[in-house]
Amino acid sequence: MAKKQFKAESKRLLDLMINSIYTNREIFLREVISNASDAIDKLCYASLTDDKIGLNRDDFRIDVTVDKEKRQITVSDNGIGMTAQEMEQNLGVIAKSGTFQFRNENGDAAEKELDVIGQFGVGFYSAFMVSSKVTVISRAYGSEEASVWESSGADGYTVKPGTRDTWGTDVIMTLKEDTDEVSYSEYLDNNTLSSIIKKYSDYIRWPIYMDVTRSRYVETDEVKEDGTKKKEWQDYTENEVVNSRVPIWQRPKNEVSDDDCKAFYKEHFYDFEDPAAVIRVSAEGTVSYKAMLFVPTAAPANYYSKDYQAGLQLYSAGVMIMEHCDALLPDYFRFVRGVVESPDLSLNISREMLQHDRQLKVIANSIEKKIRNELLKLIENDRETYNKFYKAFGLQFKYAMLNAYGSNREQLQDLLMFRSAEKDSFITLKDYTDAMPEEQKMIYYAAGETVASLAELPQTERIRSKGYDILFLTDDVDEFLMNMLGTYAEKKFCSVNSDDLGLETEEEKKHAEETEAENKELLIFVKEALEGKLADCVISRKLVSGAVCLTTKGGVSLEMERYFASLPEAVSGGQTIKAERVLELNPDHEVFAALKKAFDEDREKAADYARLLYGQAELAAGVPLEDTAEFNRLMCRLMK
Ligand code: ADP
């Protein structure tokens, strides 16, 4: 029979597995046993919802057997099994379920890949780390026929008809010959195998049976001088359950270490980084439930695509009834992974019914609070981890608030972070208001493309000279968010471009008004010289050492203008939304004096100056020069 070829990525992974220099080979057993357990879960679930199947939960089991002569380890289950076609589909390609996303781009970085392999759930293929041949005999539940899949590695596989007494699957792994470096034979030792099972698969809910060899001190037929029988140590073998079967989330908190939880997370949810936080809940009351939840540190590769399935695994009475129960999580916490188990839920429940299930709602509310509290705790106690987490997931809090028109602000506003001008790090709104000097009335922010450009904004100088911090906003949504929030802790948000920064004394105000009145003609002249580019030209109350700055009036800021311009035409409908630009002049700057002088003596020169100053203001604001050629021409003319 002709061999079929593995799919390309599978072949690559397989190559790596076969030639693995990866030392943690023993995980192959965990992977194969997990598959067996999943297969039983599937059948068990089907039998709970379909009376016709009518299987007894106690009959489900996994068996691990060893044949030393043939150098074979067999993992058998009486789960759902596979048809020949399913074998093709499932074993010919890498984890169809998307549990393993192989990173092709890592081309030659073999070391790196191996590391990735070691950390991920690598599935069925890991059997090839220890086996020279893998044979899978499977009979799907409800089918009379069995099939045999077999492969000796990367050169392909065969599928042919076979026999199996009952439904289920046997995975027969023929171990490689020992080499100088590696003893594969050690896996033929029952005690080694049972300790590997204990290490990785202890919480598998189905019993894993194995022959375990022990010694006992027993009487022999030989009689000693004193008439008693001689005793000696004898080995005996018993087929027993080697895993303790209680799922990790059901175990008392003090029995499960942090490391256990992290290991469970990585293995179960296919992450190779430790979670940022582990949340354990054991709730009794109107609804009882247990949960083990994880806040990831980094977003999975598919997180921002349609492929990502949010939701928690929902168990009832020891059976997984839903793999991605999204009704348990608000959308803005969709990054949370984990398991929830409640004895109070009906197993026969459909997806639609779950959405409306009252008990589920109670659990969801309670979970939401726990997650929020845990995140707040991280902010308080482990800022570094929170920062990392926030980098990966923070943006969605902002979108979630905007999308809900702020109705969820109480839940989310304290989780937001912004860049602080003073601290040069990310801070929360609470950090900001806690550090505000008593006389500071508002929360200042500046929006722009990069922190570096914001740090140079001339209009921030006055605020900073007072010792007030400024939030630097660099996400597109930020300004919209600030507009929507309006206040935090009863303090108003105030853009550094706002015409009233609330910093002036009455006297300063009066002085500025007078200066403005005195220079009215000049200001009108500048505005006109700029031929429609400006909505206004004013005497600035924000500048200290800078000569000019560009601000806006009305609801649209320069940042918003940039954002709208970046939208594809299909969204914007070809409409351009423009900010109303205001040129602010520093009356105390010598440039202003020069402008004034030119205005009195040489209007043409004054008009040139006005255009140059506008160009300067554009540059300082981080917006592209509207007319680069003219700016250059003016510069040259000035220097001549
Ligand atoms: P996964 O991460 O999806 O488990 P694997 O490579 O380990 O990836 O397995 C691929 C697929 O093969 C599984 O998703 C399952 O459909 C099927 N499979 C593997 N082992 C068994 C088994 N013992 N019984 C039934 N199906 C199995």
Same domain? For 135 and 87 the reply is yes
Question: How close is the Cα of 275 to the center of ligand 1, in Å?
Answer: 26
Is the pLDDT at 6 greater than 80? The verdict is: no
Assess contact for 87 and 138: CB atoms under 8 A.
yes
Which pLDDT belongs to residue 449?
87
Q: Is 169 helix (H, G, I), strand (E, B) or coil?
A: strand
- φ, ψ of residue 545 in degrees (nearest 5): -105, -20
Confidence of residue 192 (pLDDT cuts 50, 70, 90): very high
Which pLDDT belongs to residue 97?
35
- Where is mean pLDDT largest: 141-150, 266-275, 339-348? 141-150
Same domain? For 77 and 206 the reply is yes
Lowest mean pLDDT: which of 11-25, 417-431, 565-579?
Answer: 11-25
Which pLDDT belongs to residue 98?
35
Is the pLDDT at 408 greater than 80? The verdict is: yes
Is the pLDDT at 105 greater than 50? The verdict is: no
Name the residue at shortest CA distance from atom 8 of ligand 1: 95
Strands (E), 356-502: 418-420, 426-427, 442-447, 470-473, 487-488, 491-495
Which pLDDT belongs to residue 84?
94
Is the pLDDT at 60 greater than 70? The verdict is: yes
Lowest mean pLDDT: which of 118-132, 311-325, 334-348, 414-428?
Answer: 118-132
Q: Which residue has the higher pLDDT, 287 or 472?
A: 472
Q: Is residue 374 part of a domain?
A: yes
The residue to which tokens 């001549």 are assigned: 640
Which pLDDT belongs to residue 213?
84
- The dihedral region occupied by 499, where left means phi > 0, alpha psi between -120 and 50, and beta the remainder, is alpha
Is the pLDDT at 592 greater than 90? The verdict is: yes
Compute the average pLDDT of residues 566-584: 84
Q: Write the pLDDT tens digit of every residue in 113-122.
A: 444 443 444 6
| Number of domains comprising the chain | 4
* Ligand 1, atom nearest to 35 Cα: 20
Q: Is residue 580 part of a domain?
A: yes
Name the residue at shortest CA distance from atom 20 of ligand 1: 35
Choose the residue to mutate in 37, 61, 90 for probing ligand 1, maximizing ligand atoms within 8 Å of C-beta.
Answer: 90
Which pLDDT belongs to residue 108?
44
CA distance linking residue 417 with residue 367, whole number of Å: 23
CA distance linking residue 87 with residue 76, whole number of Å: 16
Q: Is 214 helix (H, G, I), strand (E, B) or coil?
A: strand
Lowest mean pLDDT: which of 2-11, 266-275, 285-294, 620-629?
Answer: 2-11
Which pLDDT belongs to residue 534?
93
Same domain? For 531 and 453 the reply is no
Residues 6+ apart with CB under 8 A from 469: 420, 421, 422, 423, 427, 432, 435, 436, 444
Question: What CATH number corresponds to the domain at position 450?
Answer: 3.40.50.11260
Question: For a pLDDT cut of 90, what percent of the chain falls above it?
Answer: 54
Q: Tell me which residues have their CB closer than 6 angstroms to ligand 1.
A: 31, 35-36, 39, 77, 79-82, 90-91, 95, 97, 99, 121, 123-124, 169
Same domain? For 482 and 516 the reply is no
Task: Answer with the one of 495, 517, 551 that is the final residue of a domain.
Answer: 495
Compute the average pLDDT of residues 373-378: 97
Same domain? For 434 and 552 the reply is no
Question: What CATH number corresponds to the domain at position 284?
Answer: 3.30.230.80
Task: Answer with the one of 442, 473, 495 that is the final residue of a domain.
Answer: 495
Question: How close is the Cα of 494 to the center of ligand 1, in Å?
Answer: 56
Mean pLDDT, the chain, integer: 87
Q: Is residue 392 part of a domain?
A: no
Question: For a pLDDT cut of 70, what percent of the chain falls above it?
Answer: 91
The residue to which tokens 């188990």 are assigned: 341
Whole-angstrom CA distances from 158 to 128, 130, 161, 523 are: 16, 20, 10, 85
Strands (E), 20-167: 62-67, 72-77, 131-139, 146-151, 157-162
Name the residue at shortest CA distance from atom 19 of ligand 1: 35
Assess contact for 131 and 72: CB atoms under 8 A.
no
Compute the average pLDDT of residues 591-606: 93
Q: Is residue 403 part of a domain?
A: no
Q: Write the pLDDT tens digit of every residue in 379-402.
A: 999 999 999 999 999 999 999 999
Of 316, 313, 314, which is closest to residue 347 (Cα–Cα)? 316
Same domain? For 630 and 527 the reply is yes
CA distance linking residue 273 with residue 297, whole number of Å: 7
Same domain? For 476 and 577 the reply is no
Which pLDDT belongs to residue 417?
96
Compute the average pLDDT of residues 614-619: 91
The DSSP output letter for 142 is T
Which pLDDT belongs to residue 246?
87
Same domain? For 344 and 437 the reply is no
Is the pLDDT at 107 greater than 80? The verdict is: no
CA distance linking residue 409 with residue 454, whole number of Å: 27
Is the pLDDT at 109 greater than 50? The verdict is: no
Whole-angstrom CA distances from 357 to 349, 350, 411, 412 are: 9, 10, 23, 25
Which pLDDT belongs to residue 241?
95
Q: Is residue 411 part of a domain?
A: no
Same domain? For 266 and 319 the reply is yes
Is the pLDDT at 312 greater than 90? The verdict is: yes
Q: Is residue 67 part of a domain?
A: yes
Helices (H), 234-350: 258-269
Task: Answer with the one of 460, 495, 530 that is the final residue of a domain.
Answer: 495
Strand partners, 232: 218
Helix, strand and coil content of the chain, in percent to the nearest 5, comes to 40, 20, 35
Same domain? For 177 and 32 the reply is yes
Choose the residue to mutate in 35, 43, 85, 88 for probing ligand 1, maximizing ligand atoms within 8 Å of C-beta.
Answer: 35
Question: What CATH number corresponds to the domain at position 571?
Answer: 1.20.120.790
Compute the average pLDDT of residues 14-43: 80
- Where is mean pLDDT largest: 250-254, 275-279, 630-634? 275-279
* Ligand 1, atom nearest to 36 Cα: 23
Confidence of residue 565 (pLDDT cuts 50, 70, 90): confident
Residues 6+ apart with CB under 8 A from 396: 332, 334, 335
Residue 378: which H helix or E strand, with range? helix 358-381
Question: How close is the Cα of 90 to the center of ligand 1, in Å?
Answer: 6
Q: Is residue 92 part of a domain?
A: yes
Assess contact for 584 and 510: CB atoms under 8 A.
no
Compute the average pLDDT of residues 249-264: 91
Of 300, 288, 62, 70, which is closest to residue 188 (Cα–Cα)? 70
Same domain? For 539 and 466 the reply is no
Name the residue at shortest CA distance from atom 1 of ligand 1: 95
Lowest mean pLDDT: which of 212-216, 279-283, 350-354, 623-627?
Answer: 350-354
Compute the average pLDDT of residues 141-162: 91
Confidence of residue 137 (pLDDT cuts 50, 70, 90): very high
Q: Which residue has the higher pLDDT, 71 or 202?
A: 71
Question: How close is the Cα of 58 to the center of ligand 1, in Å?
Answer: 22
Question: How close is the Cα of 173 to the center of ligand 1, in Å?
Answer: 15
Which pLDDT belongs to residue 317?
67
Question: How close is the Cα of 124 to the center of ligand 1, in Å?
Answer: 7
Is the pLDDT at 418 greater than 90? The verdict is: yes
Compute the average pLDDT of residues 4-33: 74
Q: Is residue 335 part of a domain?
A: yes
* Ligand 1, atom nearest to 95 Cα: 8
Which pLDDT belongs to residue 355?
54
Question: What CATH number corresponds to the domain at position 31?
Answer: 3.30.565.10
Range of the domain at 178: 10-211
CA distance linking residue 292 with residue 281, whole number of Å: 6
Q: Write the pLDDT tens digit of every residue in 535-549.
A: 999 999 888 899 999
- φ, ψ of residue 31 in degrees (nearest 5): -65, -45
Same domain? For 167 and 278 the reply is no
Question: How close is the Cα of 568 to the center of ligand 1, in Å?
Answer: 43
Choose the residue to mutate in 32, 37, 38, 101 for probing ligand 1, maximizing ligand atoms within 8 Å of C-beta.
Answer: 38
Confidence of residue 436 (pLDDT cuts 50, 70, 90): very high
Strand partners, 138: 147, 169
